[in-house]
Amino acid sequence: MKVRFLSLLLAFLAMFVMAGLFNGLVVNELVSENIDLAMLRDAPNLALIALGYALLALLMTLIYPHVVSQASYSVRSGFLFGMVAGIFWLLPQALVLHGVYRFPLMGLLIDPAWALLEQGIGGAIIGLIYAKFSRPDSSSF
71-124: pLDDT as tens digits: 999 999 999 999 999 999 888 888 887 888 777 777 777 888 889 999 999 999
pTM of the model: 0.85
DSSP assignment of 3-71, as one string?
A: HHHHHHHHHHHHHHHHHHHIIIIISHHHHHHHS-GGGS-SS--HHHHHHHHHHHHHHHHHHHHHHS-GG
Output the average pLDDT for the chain: 87
66-85: pLDDT as tens digits: 999 999 999 999 999 999 99
Phi, psi of 75 (to 5 degrees): -60, -40
